[in-house]
Structure 1
Amino acid sequence: MEEFRITRQQLCSMIDHTNLKPYAVREDFEKLCREARENNFAMVAINPAPVRLCRELLAGSGVHVGAAVSFPLGQDTLAAKIFCAEDAVKNGADEIDYVLNIGELKAGNWDYIEKEMREMTSLCKSFNVILKVIFEICYLTGEEIKMAAGMAKKVGPDYIKTSTGLGCSGADAHIVRIMKEASGEDVKVKAAGGIRDWQTCREMLMAGACRIGTSSSLKILEEFEMENK
């Protein structure tokens, strides 16, 4: 495997520590936020309801709070996505990961996809929060992925993201490379879905991802540390 060097601190700064389970309770979020604070992860990735709680738990830590919008299907109206994102920001989110309308994309309605992406980007920029656009790559062809990434290059969200983790498959290093090449230098790529070990995480980083969404953060760190003793 090609040599890849990274420090523990650098790795932690690229991890979105994730709990999107529908049955998560306060104790789960306390644990999530404690782990994120202790390791200085980039963000906790959660559903909108616990945003205010996590913002309070992470006060003063520098760890961001990220809300998943229209998760995991992307089938809300644009008005609903805008409302949910704005509500999450007002409750303390400083990152938004939204699922684009996969059905409209598959139908070739690129005007709709551009309008959705542009309005979500504009909203997040107005609040100075980070926006990530989730593609759910397992449902898309290579050409559709390239076109959506090219649209992101044109519109300018902060990130495009591979997957929700709840689709029929997750992140793929080859697709990460395609997304990065098509989106250009100014749009970053987040890999998420099925990243449960350091080897897979490393593959995504080597492919061009600079954020990793995972609920296996501590396992990845443990394996990283074992390899780098």
Structure 2
Amino acid sequence: MKRLQPIERAAGGLVIRRKNGEREVLLIDDAYGHVALPKGHLEPGESWEAAAVREIEEETGIRSRLVASLGRVEYPVMRHGTTIHKEVRMFLLEADDALQEPRHQAEEIQSAYYLPWEDAKQLHAEKGYMNWHWIFDKAKVFLDGGQMLRQTWDDTEPDTQLRVHKVRPLVISLLDSVVEEISATHPAIMSAYLQRVGQSVSTETPQDALAKVHHVLQSLPYPTVSRDALNTMIDHTLLRPDAGLLDVLTLCEEAKEHQFAAVCVQPRYVRDAVEALAGSTVSVCTVLGFPHGAVTPEQLVFETSLALASGAEELDVVIPFGAMVEDDVQAVMTSVSAVVETVNRLAPQAMVKAILETSALTVDRVMKASIAALAAGVDYIKTSTGFHTAGAHGLDVYIMQALASPAGAHVKASGGVRTMEVASMMLSLGVERIGTSSGVHLVRQ
């Protein structure tokens, strides 16, 4: 068995304070001549967040409280002739006492000090580590309200046009910072996404490709949405763990009667659904890594192979959203790529949809997960399993559509889409599939 590479984990953050009405940032001069942000190793049993707060205080004497997670960087380091895989997560924090001045306490720190925001950003750009150059722009978006985007959407009058108009400037700023982040932390993933966008819209540069994403954000919502094609956009879904064969057969009959796009069933019922729908236009969809996304890429390959052998035409794979909560973009890419590559090898005509489980993710993580899944080659990105705390949210769909459309991909909204009002909002945001267990009720409204 191949020996796993040793892992070293560290956490820290960008600490701000307001002094005399001006925003200042806590910086350190490290032992290597770089300007940096304070960080240090996790202790056994310690969380990322607790380690960040503790290390900042130990290095600078500044006590602080968490505001948001900013992101993650991974890189190799050499320790006594051994290559170590280092994982670092950084957070946005606010100093408890704006009047307290820092004093460096760790041996590896030469000095600690506050600087006004713009001065700190410039100095960090000149003397800091390149893999963290994006962190100031992202932190600024959060400080300007980027953390509250879903709340802003919900608090705005329930009109999709008004909601989009309200959140659009911050969404664009956050998206730009996320693109900058992934370009620094996962350049291969960003390159694959931009290449896909470029191929889709015949652009020549990454800037042209990103301009197409901005264009979609500016264009949505679509002013008129026809109900005529709603039936052909519905994935009639039955994923209850207590559902039996007769329930599945009833689902298939309903799908044929209403000419739905597909039925979505548990893997054990794929063959039954294929037989029941023979000769119809209804596709058979099943789920992989469902509902938690907590399986290995190797398991996903096995599940994919079995599903295709059983006759499934569409595969909805749950990303490892627990890893994405820790900003592990590579884990999403690796898992989804395992499915896409297996499909391309065994049944290239089959469709792959990546379930992001958006209710488990912050908005910036929805962006990062979308980019990773699209870079892996999926046909759709999908909001939810229906088994987490919430289902499809308009803001998430708005963002997902802006990232998917220029890449020639699509969005599936699922979870909580039970009324024509909600379905109409989703369609106006560009959704092309709706996953619901209430399909019959929906089309009869």
Deviations 1:96-153 (A, max 9, x none): 0010001221222222221212221122233121000000001101111111112233
Per the TM alignment, residue 70 of structure 1 is displaced from its structure 2 partner at its CA by 1.1
Deviations 1:69-104 (A, max 9, x none): 111100011111111121011001000001000122
Partner of 1:177: 398
Partner of 1:133: 354
Deviations 1:33-54 (A, max 9, x none): 0011111111101110000000
* Aligned residues with identical type, % of pairs: 34
Query: Structure 2: which amino acid aligns with 1:25?
Result: G
Partner of 2:378: 157
Inter-partner Cα distance in structure 1 for 2:227 and 2:420: 13
Partner of 2:226: 6
Q: Any stretches of 5+ residues in structure 2 without a counterpart?
A: 1-158, 162-222
Secondary structure of the 1:89 match is helix
Partner of 2:317: 98
TM-score computed with the length of structure 1 as normaliser: 0.92
Secondary structure of the 1:132 match is strand
Per the TM alignment, residue 7 of structure 1 is displaced from its structure 2 partner at its CA by 4.3
Going from structure 1 to structure 2, the CA distance change for 1:78 and 1:153 (only over 3 Å counts) comes to closer
Partner of 2:301: 82
Query: Structure 2: which amino acid aligns with 1:121?
Result: V
Deviations 1:149-198 (A, max 9, x none): 12233222000000001100000111101111123431210000011111
Partner of 2:412: 190
Partner of 1:205: 427
Higher relative contact order (CA 8 A, sep 6+): 1
Query: Structure 2: which amino acid aligns with 1:111?
Result: Q
Partner of 2:439: 217
Contact in 1 for aligned 2:380/2:404 (Cα 8 Å): no
Inter-partner Cα distance in structure 2 for 1:45 and 1:39: 15
Pick the structure with more strand per residue: 2
Alignment of 1:11-22 (within 5 A): 11-22=230-241
Contact in 1 for aligned 2:300/2:338 (Cα 8 Å): no
The counterpart of 1:40, out of the listed 254, 259, 263, is 259
Query: Structure 1: which amino acid aligns with 2:401?
Result: K
TM-score computed with the length of structure 2 as normaliser: 0.48
Query: Structure 2: which amino acid aligns with 1:158?
Result: D
Secondary structure of the 2:293 match is coil
Contact in 1 for aligned 2:317/2:336 (Cα 8 Å): no
Segments of 4+ in structure 1 off by > 4 A?
Answer: none
